[in-house]
Structure 1
Amino acid sequence: MVFQGSSAAISHTGKVRSNNQDSGYAGSNLFVVADGMGGHAGGDVASSLAIARLEALDQPYSATSEAERALRDAISDAAGELSDTVRIRPELAGMGTTVSALVMVDQYAVIAHIGDSRIYLYRDGTLTQITTDHTFVQRLVDSGRITPEEARYHPRRSVLMRVLGDMDTEPEVDTFIMPTQPGDRWLLCSDGLSGVVDDAHTTKALAQGLPPGRTADILLKHALDGGAPDNVTIVLVDVGGQHPVFSGTATIVGSASNPIGIEVPAARSGRSGWLHPVRQAANEPSHFEPAPEFLEELIEEDRRRARRRRLGWIVGAALAILLLAFAVFLGYQWTQTRYFVGADEDTVVIYRGIQQDIGPISLSTPYQDTGIPLDDLTEFTRAAVEQTISASSLQEAQRIVASLADSTGASG
């Protein structure tokens, strides 16, 4: 049966790159995000070819197993087409694309995924990442070597371990089937969104319950406000719900929306990089798929970074402890310049330090037992001494004691 719900697709170049290598598709049953890689032309071609190959899957399926098999076959065919394209145009070697695809079959979502674009499910106020990134840093997270927060800012976060490319005609694709229900919101996005907008802001946007198109606009604005260093593509799918059902016309965005997007482009003049270095830098690949022999080098690099990070923490902690100890020492030295007059069991005593204690540690010590009996003091004066009388210096403390001695003589 045809999927009952509503959807929207939107794609933006972002604030840094000069062309959009992303592609997105929202149809009647099929929803896809593809994030191209491989330079100015290669990424465009790769993501467009992937969408063109998958577009034929936008139809009702009688069983989820049929849809899952169709997704696997279509993605494998797309890999073969990328290889054929590179044989025609060798300068496009190394191009590739991520693919995150969703096919709705009755009350189930059939998912296929390769790369670091993502599929999220928003249900009952909770946002859950459904797919797992096929990246170097995700391996580090899975092994417990870094945290998910550290992964967001890791310098190798764009290193892909799996991608739909021209080098592998039998790509390893994750496929699985999940039940879905009315009220679910499925979000497919390139890392231009997920790498900039955190889960809290994404959840807040989805929780407003606005139509998919308006929600996608809000998410895009968050990415642009965050700098949008990469292309941003968003496909949002609502299952059931209060908004109008899908109209029947597919929405294609990004590179695949260009009628000539899947054509192999002519070679670009080498002068453009010299004339426009900033634009050329903006067209550098947003992802990198390492050669197998480079993986060990990456792992060793991360080990060195981890060792430096641990050493930094140790040095920082040691410096903090030293600074704290020095501050405590200076504070204690200052207390030893202060004096006050107090009492022991039966006489008036001059103390050095301050009246406060830090737990079991006293910040004062007896400096001089004056020998003046507490019993010789008036009731008021004795109470004042027992509560302590502060003095700014030893001389002032001695003057206070002399005054107390005079008062006992007068009373005698």
Structure 2
Amino acid sequence: MVFQGSSAAISHTGRVRSNNQDSGYAGSNLFVVADGMGGHAGGDVASSVAVHRLEQIDHPYDGTAAAERELRDSIVDCATELIDTVVRRPELAGMGTTVSALMMVDEYAVIAHIGDSRIYLYRDGALTQITTDHTFVQRLVDSGRITPEEARYHPRRSVLMRVLGDMDPDPEVDTFIMPTEPGDRWLLCSDGLSGVVDDAHTSKALALGLAPGRTADMLLKQALDGGAPDNVTIVLVDVGGAHPVFSGTPSIVGSASTPEGVEVPAARPGRTSWLHPGRQAANEPTHFEPAAEFLEELIEEDRRRARRRRLGWIAGLVLVLLLLTAALFGAYQWSQTRYFIGADADSVVIYRGIQQDLGPFPLSTVYEDTGILLDDLSPFTRATVENTISADSLENAHAVVDRLRAVSGGD
């Protein structure tokens, strides 16, 4: 059965990259996002090859098993085609691409994925990431070494551990099948979107229920406002819903829509919006490092970074404590230059310090017992002494005591 719903595809070079290495496809049953990598030209070719190879399997299927098998086999065939392309054009060696593909079969979504492009499902007001990034930082997240938020700004966030490229003729591709239902919104995107626009803003845009094309435009604008340091490709698929049923020619965007050899105009110099921080999540070129020893090297490097971070926090805490201690010591030293007159058990006493206490710690000590008995003072004067009389200096304190001695009739 032909998929019943609506879709849209859009791709943009972004504000920093000089060419668009992404490709996107929205067909009758198949939807794809591919994010190329490998130099100025290699990524263009890799993502374009992937989309045009997968375009050939966009037709109805009798069942999900056949569609899943066809998706996996076609992606493996893409790897073979990339290898053959490098044989003909050695200058493209090292190119590769991510692939995130969605095939609609009756009430099911058949998914194939490799790399760090993503597929999301928006259902009943909740946005869920369906695919798992095949990246170094995702392994760190899965192992509990870092949080998902830390992964967004990790210096190795662009290191892919699995990719469709010209080095492996039998790539490991994730495939699985999920039920879908009317009202579902499926979002396929490159990390140019997911690395800049967080899930909360993406979910808010999807919740508006606008047509796929308008929603994709809104998400693209958010990425551009956020600086768009990478190419941005979005494919949005609505299952059923109020919008017109998809019909007509499949939509191909990005490098796959540009004839090979045609130079893509350079993007404008990069900038960031005042509404968004200058620190971007997807601002490093993606590259592929499949070797196990390299993974161990990265993990050890991350451990060193964590140790340095902990030492930095400890040093900062020690510095704060030292400054706080110095401030408290300075305040205490100042307090010991102050005096006041008060009452001890039965006599008038000169205290050094200030009347306040710091919790259980008094900030004053007895400096001198004047020998003036409280019983020798008038009730008003006694009450004044018991409430304490401040003195700016020791001389001023002695002057107050002399006056008290005079009114008490003492020597």
**TM-score normalised according to structure 2 size:** 0.88
Matches for 1:1-400 after TM superposition, within 5 Å? 1-258=1-258, 260-261=259-260, 265=261, 286-290=285-289, 292=291, 293-400=293-400
- Confirm or deny: 8 A CA contact 1:37 1:285 kept in the other structure: no
Against the structure 1 CA distance between its residues 253 and 360, is the aligned structure 2 distance closer, same or farther, given a 3 Å change threshold?
same
- Confirm or deny: 8 A CA contact 1:16 1:230 kept in the other structure: yes
Once the two structures are TM-superposed, the CA of residue 24 in structure 1 deviates from its matched residue by: 0.7
Corresponding residue pairs, total: 393
Against the structure 1 CA distance between its residues 200 and 137, is the aligned structure 2 distance closer, same or farther, given a 3 Å change threshold?
same
- Confirm or deny: 8 A CA contact 2:158 2:284 kept in the other structure: no
Residue 56 of structure 2: SS of its match in structure 1? helix
Q: Kindly provide the amino acid, as one letter, of the partner of residue 5 in structure 1.
A: G
* Structure 2 unaligned residues grouped into runs of 5+: 264-268, 271-282
Q: Kindly provide the amino acid, as one letter, of the partner of residue 402 in structure 2.
A: A
Q: Kindly provide the amino acid, as one letter, of the partner of residue 343 in structure 2.
A: A
Distance in structure 2 (CA, Å) of the matches to 1:339 and 1:179? 81
Distance in structure 1 (CA, Å) of the matches to 2:380 and 2:124? 71
Distance in structure 1 (CA, Å) of the matches to 2:341 and 2:247? 90
Residue 224 of structure 1: SS of its match in structure 2? helix
Q: Kindly provide the amino acid, as one letter, of the partner of residue 158 in structure 1.
A: S
Alpha-carbon displacement from aligned partner over 1:311-370 (angstroms, at most 9, x marks no partner):
222222222222222222112212222222222332222222222222222222222222
Q: Using the TM superposition, name which of 30-39 and 333-342 deviates more.
A: 333-342
Alpha-carbon displacement from aligned partner over 1:184-222 (angstroms, at most 9, x marks no partner):
222211111111222222222223332222222222122
What's the % identity of the aligned pairs?
78
Q: Which residue of 1 aligns with 2:275?
A: none
Residue 104 of structure 2: SS of its match in structure 1? strand
Residue 35 of structure 2: SS of its match in structure 1? strand
Residue 54 of structure 2: SS of its match in structure 1? helix
Residue 300 of structure 1: SS of its match in structure 2? helix
What is the aligned-residue RMSD (CA, Å)?
Answer: 2.4
Q: Which residue of 2 aligns with 1:275?
A: none
Once the two structures are TM-superposed, the CA of residue 164 in structure 1 deviates from its matched residue by: 0.4
Against the structure 1 CA distance between its residues 355 and 245, is the aligned structure 2 distance closer, same or farther, given a 3 Å change threshold?
farther
Distance in structure 2 (CA, Å) of the matches to 1:318 and 1:285? 35
Q: Using the TM superposition, name which of 378-387 and 23-32 deviates more.
A: 378-387
Q: Which residue of 2 aligns with 1:273?
A: none
Against the structure 1 CA distance between its residues 28 and 326, is the aligned structure 2 distance closer, same or farther, given a 3 Å change threshold?
same
Distance in structure 2 (CA, Å) of the matches to 1:365 and 1:214? 75
Once the two structures are TM-superposed, the CA of residue 225 in structure 1 deviates from its matched residue by: 1.6
Distance in structure 2 (CA, Å) of the matches to 1:389 and 1:398? 12
- Confirm or deny: 8 A CA contact 2:80 2:166 kept in the other structure: yes
Q: Using the TM superposition, name which of 131-140 and 375-384 deviates more.
A: 375-384
* Structure 1 unaligned residues grouped into runs of 5+: 269-277
Q: Kindly provide the amino acid, as one letter, of the partner of residue 38 in structure 2.
A: G
Q: Kindly provide the amino acid, as one letter, of the partner of residue 132 in structure 2.
A: T
Once the two structures are TM-superposed, the CA of residue 291 in structure 1 deviates from its matched residue by: 5.2
